Amino acid sequence: MIKLIAIGKNKDKALQSLEKEYMKRLSAFCKFSEIEVKDEANEHVSREAEVLLVKEKEENRVLEKLSDQDFVVLLHGKMIDSETFAKNLDTWQMKHSNIVFVIAGSLGPSEKLVSRANYRWKLSDLTFTHLMTRVLMLEQIYRGFMINNGRNYHK
């Protein structure tokens, strides 16, 4: 089982359509589910204490969706290429029954969420919207399966 936990709700119809397309494609390779957890309003966050409070609230919502057995991949860390990601995905699947990809809120992950992660992954040095990031992550997971199954998609 592969899960994606994302903070915030996707209200963009075009991006929802892309997400559904990749989830449909992923169904050929694995059970997949997406979990959206409520985000905190933070447009007026200016003090560090407020930032920490927002991160803590969002962190708690994510952590309550995780079990101790979940292998957690947090989108906040090391950049790798698609082939390396595919190898990692294959290894994770052999060792763990549940792989959970987590996209933190717009203020980034809390320290507790970082420490819970089994692996930290970075898509790019570029900055993307959280909604676009969800689509990009789904595409990379799908690409990983295609690479691992010798399918002609990657090139």
pTM, to two decimals: 0.92
Find the mean pLDDT for residues 99-116.
93
Cβ neighbours for 72, distance < 8 A, ≥ 6 positions apart:
66, 100, 102, 116, 117, 118, 119
Distance, CA of 101 to chain centre: 4
pLDDT at 46 over 80: no
Q: pLDDT value at position 154?
A: 60
The residue length of the chain stands at: 155
54 Ramachandran zone, left/alpha/beta (phi>0; psi -120 to 50): alpha
Average pLDDT over residues 73-98: 96
Number of other CB atoms surrounding residue 142 within 10 Å: 20
